[in-house]
């Protein structure tokens, strides 16, 4: 509008020549056209705004309707849930059966444990009334009548208990025995947690070699029950009833002679069972004598209904023991004894109580750039070195599969503060110095290969990457670790002892500890210097003042 007024003023000038007047008139017409178009667009916008208001109103109505539908659905679901709860009270019955946390320490001796497993539950095992009456009328079940009750409210739990007590193992049948034990013990533990949520756990099975023969390199237990990644209950199973002694013996031999706090924390013992054919008995492996299991129950005959009821009763009490008594004693950074960890490139790690068994299938193709002879020699040459994992039984290579037994156990937890970082770096440097003295380089130093083996104690593991120093870095398909940086290899492209030192410095750079003192930062800078020749050797690094700051010398 202002532009049109300006044009009108110009056209009113008396001295305006015809050409200029014509230009102003053309400009006036153009502005008028623009104004007309703008008014038209404004009208369209008004219509769109009106339409949006209508759509918004419709959306509000739809939203209101959806809220009402959701409220109705929620009410229906609540009603259905209430009806379902009214029908099946397994949750409440399970809680009553288990009772409250007594707030007391767990039983101490084997005798105390035996009494604990025998004590009455907060409520007897629930069974369908028809099943209960059938059991009650059988004179052979008289001694267990008080352990069960008729229940018309705990359908799920009653069905689990019935499945357990009816599972008589078939004579010397491996499948029949497995089914019976699964129902008698594992299914009860699983069901109690599913109903109450009180004991999160994992189960594991090792079904190989149930002949009673113990191999040179020990196997995991046949049955493992882990809570918070800690083995808290295990079982040994033999198919033939005459092998019960072998099953008991393996409960002890598979524990080794060491009770590792890394694996078991403050646990005073490990409950377990031995089964052979229809025979089953509960035992305990004591911290002070792990090779000699002590019985904590009578020997049960699983062909007898009353004995199966007692086993289920003992298992519920075992759940209570694990939940209230033993779980508070578990280690904060556990190692899952009995577990088998599958890694890339055909590698598996079996964790036993006193060692780990490492296997690499197709060693030549899965571990390129590493020579078996170097591995055999390095474990021998560093068998007494500090800061390194050691071979409990030396490496073997049979039909292409590499195998070695290693110890001690350790967890991959990282240092939590600078004091622990100092201890860890010092241990790693000692291990690296020992490797270098023997003529080897590690080549794969990162936190997953640094293990905490106890309070203030650390070691460098995974020597399956070592090689004679120096090593010219191979091309495509050769050995190259993910932890290498652009400064790891020297100017000639070779991996040297200085490369190991640089990777130790990288540990300090990736430790996730925010505040490090000046001496620590100084050492880190020295170890990670870009020029390999500027880095100290591992031996020289151990003499750095930072290690003296913690009161520990090199």
pLDDT at 160: 95
Mean pLDDT of 333-352: 93
Q: 95-104, 252-261, 386-395, 520-529: lowest mean pLDDT where?
A: 252-261
Read off the pLDDT band of 36 (50, 70, 90). confident
The residue among 28 and 41 whose pLDDT is bigger is 41
Whole-number Å distance between alpha carbons of 550 and 456 = 12
Span of 34-38, 129-133, 185-189, 359-363 with lowest mean pLDDT = 34-38
Q: Which pLDDT score, from 0 to 100, does residue 103 have?
A: 87
Q: Is the pLDDT of residue 279 over 80?
A: yes
pLDDT band at 330 (very low <50, low <70, confident <90, very high): very high
Is residue 418 scored above 60 in pLDDT? Answer: yes
- Share above pLDDT 90 across residues of the chain, in percent, rounded to a whole number: 68
Distance CA 437, CA 373 (A): 17
Pull the structure tokens for residue 17: 């020549």
- Name the residue with higher pLDDT: 217 or 168: 168
Distance between terminal CA atoms of the chain? 89
pLDDT value at 81 more than 50: no
**Where is pLDDT greater, at 546 or 171?**
546
Between 475 and 307, the more confident residue is 307
Question: Token pair for residue 158?
Answer: 């009653």
Confidence of residue 39 (pLDDT cuts 50, 70, 90): confident
Tally the residues of the chain: 554
Once rounded to an integer, what is the mean pLDDT over residues 177-187?
86
Mean pLDDT of 233-244: 93
Percent of the chain with pLDDT over 70: 87
Q: Rounding to the nearest 10 degrees, give the CA dihedral for residues 53, 54, 60, 62.
A: -150
* CA dist list (Å): 441 to 156, 463, 469, 485: 60, 9, 6, 16
Looking at residue 83, its pLDDT comes to 42
- Residue 111 confidence (pLDDT): 96
Per domain, the residue ranges of the chain are: 2-86, 93-329, 413-549
d(CA 430, CA 381): 14
In whole numbers, what is the pLDDT of the chain averaged over residues? 88
The pLDDT of residue 71 is 58
Average of per-residue pLDDT across 44-57: 78
Q: Which helix (H) or strand (E) holds 505?
A: helix 497-509
Output DSSP code: residue 326. I
Domain 413-549 has CATH 1.10.510.10: yes
The reply to whether the predicted model has a pTM over 0.85 is no
pLDDT of residue 141: 95
Higher pLDDT, 16 or 180: 180
DSSP code string of 366-433: HTTT--HHHHHHHHHHTTT-TTB-EEEEEEEEETTEEEEEEES--B-PPPSSHHHHHHHHHHHHHHHH
466 or 57, greater pLDDT:
466
Higher pLDDT: 477 or 136? It is 136
Identify which has the larger pLDDT, 71 or 295: 295
pLDDT in the model for residue 161: 96
DSSP type of residue 474: P
Position 217 pLDDT exceeds 50: no
- Ramachandran assignment for 172, one of left (phi > 0), alpha (psi -120 to 50 degrees), beta (any other): left
* Closest alpha carbon to 278 in 241, 237, 235: 241
Q: How far apart are CA 501 and CA 428, in angstroms?
A: 10
For the residues of 125-182, what is the DSSP string, one character each?
EEE-HHHHHHHHH-GGGGGGGGGEEE-SS-HHHHHHHHHHHH-PPPTT-HHHHHHHHI
pLDDT bracket for residue 208 (50, 70, 90): low
Q: Where are the alpha helices (DSSP H) in 186-295?
A: 187-196, 244-253, 261-264
H helix runs in 227-283, sequence order:
244-253, 261-264
Say whether pLDDT at 412 is over 80.
yes
């Amino acid at each position: 509008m202002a532009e049109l007024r300006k044009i009108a003023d110009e056209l009113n000038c008396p001295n305006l020549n015809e050409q200029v007047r014509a230009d102003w008139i053309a400009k006036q017409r153009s502005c008028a056209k623009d104004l007309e178009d703008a008014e038209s667009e404004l009208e369209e916008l008004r219509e769109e705004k009106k339409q949006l208001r209508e759509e918004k109103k419709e959306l509000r109505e739809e939203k209101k309707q959806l809220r009402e539908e959701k409220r109705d659905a929620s009410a229906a679901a609540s009603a259905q849930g209430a009806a379902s709860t009214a029908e099946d009270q397994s949750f409440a019955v399970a809680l009553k059966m288990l009772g409250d946390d007594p707030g007391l320490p767990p039983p101490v001796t084997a005798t105390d444990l035996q009494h604990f497993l025998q004590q009455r539950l907060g409520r007897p095992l629930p069974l369908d009334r028809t099943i209960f009456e059938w059991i009650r009328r059988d004179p052979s079940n008289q001694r267990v009548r008080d352990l069960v009750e008729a229940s018309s409210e705990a359908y799920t739990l009653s069905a689990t208990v019935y499945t357990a007590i009816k599972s008589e193992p078939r004579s010397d049948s491996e499948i029949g025995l497995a089914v019976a034990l699964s129902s008698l013990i594992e299914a009860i533990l699983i069901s109690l947690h599913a109903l109450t949520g009180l004991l999160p756990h994992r189960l594991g099975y090792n079904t190989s070699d149930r002949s009673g023969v113990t191999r040179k390199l020990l196997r995991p237990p046949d049955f493992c029950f882990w809570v918070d990644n800690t083995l808290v209950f295990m079982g040994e199973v033999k198919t033939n009833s005459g092998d019960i002694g072998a099953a008991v013996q393996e409960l002890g031999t598979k524990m080794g002679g060491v009770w590792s706090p890394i694996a078991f924390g403050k646990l005073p013992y490990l409950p377990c069972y031995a089964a052979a054919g229809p025979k089953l008995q509960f035992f305990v492996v004591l911290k002070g004598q792990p090779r000699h299991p002590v019985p904590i129950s009578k020997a049960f005959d699983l062909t007898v209904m009353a004995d199966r009821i007692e086993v289920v009763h003992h298992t519920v009490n075992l759940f209570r023991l694990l939940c209230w008594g033993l779980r508070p004693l578990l280690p904060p950074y556990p190692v899952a004894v009995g577990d088998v960890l599958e890694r890339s490139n055909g590698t598996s790690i079996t964790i036993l109580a006193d060692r780990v068994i490492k296997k690499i299938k197709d060693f030549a193709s899965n571990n390129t750039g590493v020579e078996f002879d170097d591995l055999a020699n390095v474990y021998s040459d560093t068998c007494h070195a500090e800061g390194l994992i050691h071979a409990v039984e030396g490496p073997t290579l049979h039909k292409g599969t590499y195998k070695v037994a290693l110890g001690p156990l350790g967890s991959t937890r990282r240092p939590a503060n600078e004091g622990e970082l100092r201890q860890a770096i010092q241990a790693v440097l000692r291990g690296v110095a020992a490797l270098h003295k023997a003529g080897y380089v590690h080549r794969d130093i990162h936190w997953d290969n640094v293990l905490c083996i106890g309070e203030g104690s650390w070691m460098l593991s995974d020597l399956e990457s070592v090689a004679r120093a120096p090593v010219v870095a191979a091309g495509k398909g050769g050995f190259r670790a993910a932890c290498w940086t652009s400064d790891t290899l020297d100017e000639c492209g070779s991996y040297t002892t200085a490369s190991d030192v640089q990777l130790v410095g990288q540990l300090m750079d990736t430790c996730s500890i925010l505040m490090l003192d000046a001496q620590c930062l100084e050492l880190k800078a020295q170890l990670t210097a870009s020029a390999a020749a500027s880095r100290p050797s591992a031996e020289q690094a151990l003499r750095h003042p930072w290690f003296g700051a913690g009161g520990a010398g090199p």
